[in-house]
Structure 1
């Protein structure tokens, strides 16, 4: 590990050790700039031991990255920031942005947490609470609350997806009938509506898939916490 490296240590989630990576930027002087989680997450410069918390530290190698001076400058420019969000601005988003200029989190992709396009404030707040492990005694309640919010979202989106599918089929039949009647103008209009319905249905189905991924993740965590 060297100055300007993107580094990470394994952290626990809801009492389970080694569940996720906590990322930061190595300043090369025994300090690390990272999202420090106290009562409120804030980007801070801490000593190396506070970052590692007694665990091994690894380097995340990026194929294309800024030179160390630029990486440190970018990290220092955000000291004091208090805008942590698990889904859009977590510790890995921050460290990867410092290193490469891209605000990305490979962990979210690996965990199946793809909710950037489905923004339910209550659900996002609960997920952040669970991820930060604010209160181990209430972790099960938080998970259950998140699962409840997911169920409500699914109940809202599923009928919309089914309706969009019915519209696809309806406009397809309308287009076929218009062609038989020699009404190319109506056929084109119907096909245009069919394409719009297909796009809507694809977007709704994608949201349902994302919610199912998150539901599975939370249910697995719930089982682990109870065991």
Structure 2
């Protein structure tokens, strides 16, 4: 079953180990950002790719602001580090492009690498990775 959403709400689906995020535009349209197509509009079915969809509902004023920003800004190409799907969503929702998942993964890898360098034990690296990912606050759709 598809979660109900309104134009301007943030939507997400599982994509491997991360959540792929987009902005509901209304009329079965989702703005999102992918490596092959950059920022573009797809149908809900194309966005979901058979996966369950999660919704972060926003208050009306935030939905309107997000929707206006999503429709007004020029489309950009994809870059994992500077313009991935989360950058697209946070830029429209808050005015500042950020990727909490990318920061979380970076922290996990950094702490895991440090733990391995200090102990030379794979289990310490795994524990360090898990700890590092937990140290970074995420936005609730993960």
Higher relative contact order (CA 8 A, sep 6+): 2
Residues in 2 aligned to 1:23 and 1:47: alpha-carbon distance in whole angstroms: 14
Residues in 1 aligned to 2:84 and 2:25: alpha-carbon distance in whole angstroms: 19
Ranges in structure 1 where 5+ consecutive residues have no aligned partner: 13-18, 115-208, 221-227
Report what 2:70 is aligned to: 75
Shift of 1:67: 2.8
1:2 to 1:61, Cα distance in 2 relative to 1, 3 A = closer
1:65 to 1:85, Cα distance in 2 relative to 1, 3 A = farther
1:52 to 1:65, Cα distance in 2 relative to 1, 3 A = same
1:66 to 1:99, Cα distance in 2 relative to 1, 3 A = farther
Report what 2:120 is aligned to: none
Size of the aligned set, in residue pairs, is 114
Report what 2:6 is aligned to: 2
Q: Does 1:110 align with 2:73?
A: no
Alignment of 1:63-102 (within 5 A): 67-82=62-77, 84-102=78-96
Q: Find the residue that maps to 1:67 and give its secondary structure.
A: helix
TM-score (ref. length: structure 1): 0.43
Report what 1:200 is aligned to: none
Residues in 2 aligned to 1:30 and 1:97: alpha-carbon distance in whole angstroms: 21
Deviation digits for residues 65-92 of structure 1 (CA, Å, limit 9, x no counterpart): 953232122112335321x221222101
Q: Which has the higher strand share?
A: 2
Report what 1:212 is aligned to: 113
Q: CA RMSD in A?
A: 3.1
Q: Which runs of 4+ in 1 moved over 6 A?
A: none
TM-score (ref. length: structure 2): 0.65
1:102 to 1:80, Cα distance in 2 relative to 1, 3 A = closer
Residues in 2 aligned to 1:32 and 1:24: alpha-carbon distance in whole angstroms: 6
Alignment of 1:1-227 (within 5 A): 1-12=5-16, 19-38=17-36, 41-60=37-56, 67-82=62-77, 84-112=78-106, 209=110, 212=113
Residues in 1 aligned to 2:54 and 2:100: alpha-carbon distance in whole angstroms: 15
Q: Say which one has the larger Rg.
A: 1
Ranges in structure 2 where 5+ consecutive residues have no aligned partner: 117-124, 130-142
